[in-house]
Amino acid sequence: MAKITLNINKKEYPLEADPQMPLLWAIRDLAGLKGTKYGCGVAQCGACVVHLDGEAVRSCVTKVSRAVGKQVVTIEGLSETNSHPVQKAWQEIDVPQCGYCHSGQIMSAVVLLREKPNPTDQDIDDAMAGNICRCGTYLRIRAAIHLAADEQKKAAPQG
Amino acid sequence: MIDEQTVSRRNFLKTSALTSAVFSLGFYWPGSGKAAKIVNAAEANNFGVEMNSWVHIDKSGKVTIFDHRAEMGQGSYQAVPQIVAEELEVNLNEISVVFAQGDAKKYGNQVTGGSSTVRGSYKNLLKLSATAREMLIQAGATKWGVPKIECHAEAGHVIHKPSGKRMHYGELVEAASKLEAPKDVVLKKRADYKLIGKPLRRLDTPMKTNGTAVFGLDKMIPGMLYAAVERNPRLRGKVKSFDDSRTRLIPGVKNVFKVKMGVFNTYREGVAVVADSTWAAIQGKKALKVEWDDTGFEHLDSEEIYKRQAEALKTQEGLAFKKQGEPNEIIAKATKKIDVTYETPYQYHAAMEPLNCVAHYQEDKLEIWGPIQAPEWVQDYISKEMSISKEKVIVNMTFLGGGFGRKAFMDYPHEAAVISKEIKGPVQVVWTREDDATQGPFRPGITYRCEGVIKDGEIDAFKVKLAGQNNSHWRGGKKDVPNGSASEGFLKPYTDSIKNLAIMDIPFETPIPTMWWRSVYASTNGFAYESFLDELAHEAGKDPLDFRRAYLKEDRLQKLIDKIEEVSGWKSRKKGEGFGVAITECFSSTVAQVVKVSKLETGGVKVDKVWAVMDCGWYVNPDTIKAQIEGSVVMALGAATIHQVKFKDGMAVDNNFSTYQMPRIADIPPIDIHIMDNDADAGGVGEPGLPPFAPALTNAIFDLTGKRVRKLPFSLLGV
């Protein structure tokens, strides 16, 4: 066990953790933030995606020691009022059914839209291929990403 | 009779003190088979019945609804308030929803299965809500001294139009609660609905976009420890011995012991590792060395299971589920007949949230929190297994991260309760994905032998024999009777109108645990029966849709066929363009689907488009229905083209998504969904969209390639 400090959603969490512990379980069980989900434990489903210094990572296979000194953002920290364009698009299209995978889906989509503000269907298929939805909300995920892209464009200053 | 007696003021006050809400209305079941009666809290108390307080309104006007069913994605959390808000005349966003605890005496059947939430409760909910509205209107009219007929309710207010007076429900709840519930209330006409039938947004969506929805795995209670269990990979096996020396070295591990949990009529054994984090518990589980006692039952491979089914279909006649006319005689004499076999695999539910459960055993009670589809079954089962009186077993439903049937069973809450009792404290038992994927129960894989004879373009004889495990056997069902769902999914007008017909069930058992999986037997029957019908249509030289139309003479079915024909462009399709159709019925709803496929340049086929028409009668939210059909098609696509639980030496082989591959976003074709409008009673929504997909797909592949797919799963690229 080691004393470490994680910065999650711009807040410091002093924790005592096995350095080998995946970031997922440190976020959930030690920091008590339950929005990030466990789905497979082997980086196959994407339910555990969080941002580490802005990059999407699978927290179930990322050692907690790797997150020390970095900015971790989870679904709870994406916006204060559930109003990130991706969250709003998800609400507008009523994407979730059971909802379990959508923390990870949304976190993946946010990175996609930062890198490709105007994604094609192919871009979406590529970027979202690592996120499983057993309820089968894929068509709505695609529609919501396009909608969020449109909204982002409207919000951006016109040049 | 409860509704003919008056309520004493003394009793009313007693009840009011017991409930925080000022005005509560609920149902009361006077006896099995009788219609529910509506009672307020005072009446319930006066007559000694359990009040379920389905709708509460407090003095601030806040409306709280108890959702008696689980929310696992299918939309009960939206449907129940949308129904109530309509007749109660309140705004949907002013309602809070609370999951009811498991209690069959209060809530009746709470098992969220069989697509039954809306169809099983909407009439009572409409009446209950209208009753509450009328009582509030009456209270307002009395207060103003005006005739009730001059008053109406709107957006949480009672309004007296002639004088322009209006009062918020909150100001009237105390007076309303003292009134007796009127016996007859007039329900709104469908044309007058403001909310029902509209594609309103789900109330639970915002919670599911910011991580605040509490699923079972997210439940935390003070002092809670975490447990992982190494269970025998063969259900019927036992723990012979275990070595926990390495486990106990892992930091955070607190306790290791043997556990036994009930799985229907049998038990499963394992070794529990209790720790201060999920990770430590999982690591501790991995470090265990367990020796299993696997004697006394067979360790089967998939190949052997299907060999036995094929053999049984050749040599046995089976038990008659339905038999009429002389199918055997006609088939025996026929010079030309179809005699084909369809094979379907075992399936895993694969909900995104693996099984888990929090239990807190204390001397005077046991409390459970978890993703639970059948809270009152859990209450009942644990009460019996652990000898705790039923009222002391409190079962709370969280949101479910998918269920699909698996979370209707009692094994995982029971196991959590046993572990909590052993450690004398609260615990969350977490199943790893590997545990979840390999322990079952699974959907049974069934093989069908289908024989038929065509004469003058019509079915002269129709015979289906099925060999596969019967889920009811796991719950103690009789083994000398045919499976009661042997033709589930297949439309009844066929079995009613085909003169010479036999549906035979061959009893078949293995030690592999099986149970419900979304749409249950319709998911396998649908493939066999609807593929076979397609074969018969081609044998008869008829258009597959016209062939079906001739048998499905009911008006609703004719309209459904007309609709799918129209929206899919069936008539304007060209010969061999790759169109297939299938129509199935389950849980009182009928769904027709057309699938279009085309050849890939690189070999194989791809699904270009799916059209679906749903007839579920009266419905609440068309967008929920569309979402459920979209999801059903995706799940059916996986089941038809990827998924099979393979067994080797009596154990499931694939244990995670790395080998049990899920459909991904790029695999999903466009899905065009239409809903029929009629005045029929409500049917199910969550499951009926699944069964027609596989046969519509393989019928389309036959249309395109002339090749008949008779075994699932098959690879689209291998066609």
**Sign of dihedral through CA atoms B186, B85, B587, A94?**
positive
Per-residue pLDDT, B575: 84
Q: Is residue B308 part of a domain?
A: no
Does B368 lie in the same domain as B513?
no
Matching CATH number, A85-155, of 2.30.30.40, 1.10.150.120, 1.10.1060.10, 3.40.50.1100: 1.10.150.120
Per-residue pLDDT, A100: 98
**Quick one: pLDDT band at residue B48, thresholds 50, 70, 90?**
low
- Token pair in block for residue B295: 């004697």
> What is d(CA B102, CA B378) in angstroms, rounded to the nearest whole number?
8
Contact B205 A96 (CB under 8 A): yes
Does B178 lie in the same domain as B119?
yes
Query: Residue B441, preceding bond cis, omega within 30 degrees?
Result: yes
**Sign of dihedral through CA atoms B188, B191, B197, B203?**
negative
Instruction: Please compute the mean of the pLDDT values over residues B495-519 and round it to a whole number.
Output: 96
> What is d(CA B313, CA B506) in angstroms, rounded to the nearest whole number?
8
Instruction: Please compute the mean of the pLDDT values over residues B108-134 and round it to a whole number.
Output: 87
Q: Is residue B469 part of a domain?
A: yes
Longest dimension (CA), chain A: 53
Instruction: Kindly tell me if the per-residue pLDDT of B389 is higher than 50.
Output: yes
**Sign of dihedral through CA atoms B374, B375, B380, B381?**
positive
Contact A37 B217 (CB under 8 A): yes
B565 SS3 class: helix
Count of alpha carbons within 13 angstroms of residue B66, beta-carbon side: 22
Q: Is residue B302 part of a domain?
A: no
B376, B111 Cβ separation under 8 angstroms: yes
Does B638 lie in the same domain as B608?
yes
Contact B354 A38 (CB under 8 A): yes
**Sign of dihedral through CA atoms B484, B490, B495, B496?**
positive
In this complex, the residue of A37, A42, A136 whose CB is nearest that of residue B656 is A42
Does B329 lie in the same domain as B292?
no
B107 SS3 class: helix
Instruction: Examine the fold and report which residue of B387, B410, B430 is the final residue of a domain before the chain moves on.
Output: B430
**Quick one: pLDDT band at residue B1, thresholds 50, 70, 90?**
very low
Nearest CA in chain A to B201: A94
Per-residue pLDDT, B109: 79
Nearest CA in chain A to B637: A136
Rounded to a whole number of angstroms, the distance from the CA of B204 to the nearest CA of chain A is 9
- Length of chain B in terms of residues written: 719
Q: What is the pLDDT of residues B216-238, one digit of tens each?
A: 999 999 999 999 999 999 989 99
Instruction: Examine the fold and report which residue of B371, B398, B430 is the final residue of a domain before the chain moves on.
Output: B430
Q: How many CB pairs under 8 A join A and B?
A: 186
Instruction: Please compute the mean of the pLDDT values over residues B33-42 and round it to a whole number.
Output: 64
Does B111 lie in the same domain as B16?
yes
Contact B278 A39 (CB under 8 A): no
Q: What is the pLDDT of residues B603-641, one digit of tens each?
A: 999 999 999 999 999 999 999 999 999 999 999 999 999
Does B277 lie in the same domain as B236?
yes
Which residues fall within 8 angstroms of residue A66, CB to CB, at 6 or more apart?
A23, A52
Contact B277 A139 (CB under 8 A): no
**Quick one: pLDDT band at residue B103, thresholds 50, 70, 90?**
confident
Contact A37 B206 (CB under 8 A): no
Rounded to a whole number of angstroms, the distance from the CA of A88 to the nearest CA of chain B is 8
Contact B634 A90 (CB under 8 A): no
- pTM for this model (two decimals): 0.95
Which domain range does residue B521 map to? 316-347+442-718
Nearest CA in chain A to B670: A139
Rounded to a whole number of angstroms, the distance from the CA of B285 to the nearest CA of chain A is 14
A121, A97 Cβ separation under 8 angstroms: no
Contact B213 A25 (CB under 8 A): no
Per-residue pLDDT, B112: 82
* Portions of chain A given CATH number 1.10.150.120: 85-155
What's phi and psi for A27, nearest 5 deg? -65, -45
In this complex, the residue of A94, A100, A106 whose CB is nearest that of residue B401 is A100
Selected residue of B93, B217, B352 to mutate for chain A interface (largest A Cβ count, 10 A): B352
Contact B656 A22 (CB under 8 A): no
Rounded to a whole number of angstroms, the distance from the CA of B352 to the nearest CA of chain A is 6
CB under 8 A, 24+ apart: contacts of B602-606: B602/B717, B603/B717, B604/B715, B604/B716, B604/B717, B604/B718, B604/B719, B605/B578, B605/B701, B605/B704, B605/B705, B605/B716, B605/B719, B606/B669, B606/B716
- Length of chain A in terms of residues written: 159
Does B327 lie in the same domain as B256?
no
Residue with token string 């007749």: B87
Q: How many domains does chain B have?
A: 3
> What is d(CA B159, CA B129) in angstroms, rounded to the nearest whole number?
18
Rounded to a whole number of angstroms, the distance from the CA of B209 to the nearest CA of chain A is 6
> How big is chain A by its Cα radius of gyration, in Å?
16
Contact A37 B279 (CB under 8 A): no
> What is d(CA B671, CA B675) in angstroms, rounded to the nearest whole number?
13
* Portions of chain A given CATH number 3.10.20.30: 2-77
Q: What is the domain-level CATH number for residue B119? A: 3.30.365.10
- Name the CATH architecture for the domain at A2-77: Roll (3.10)
ipTM of the complex: 0.98
Per-residue pLDDT, B18: 37
Does B387 lie in the same domain as B465?
no
Does B663 lie in the same domain as B538?
yes
Selected residue of A25, A40, A48 to mutate for chain B interface (largest B Cβ count, 10 A): A40
Contact A82 B209 (CB under 8 A): yes
Instruction: Examine the fold and report which residue of B150, B184, B208 is the final residue of a domain before the chain moves on.
Output: B208
Instruction: Kindly tell me if the per-residue pLDDT of B149 is higher than 60.
Output: yes
Beta bridge partners of A120: none
Does B513 lie in the same domain as B495?
yes
What is the Cα B176 distance to its own chain's centre? Answer: 37
SS3 per-residue string spanning B462-501: EEEEEECCCHHHHHCCCCCCCCCCCCCECCHHHHHHCCCE
From the list A146, A143, A50, A134, the residue with the least C-alpha distance to A99 is: A134
> What is d(CA B157, CA B167) in angstroms, rounded to the nearest whole number?
5
Contact B220 A45 (CB under 8 A): no
Neighboring chain B residues of A47 at a CB cutoff of 8 Å: 352
Does B116 lie in the same domain as B94?
yes
Does B223 lie in the same domain as B144?
no
Q: Percent of chain B having pLDDT more than 90?
A: 81
**Average pLDDT for chain A:** 96
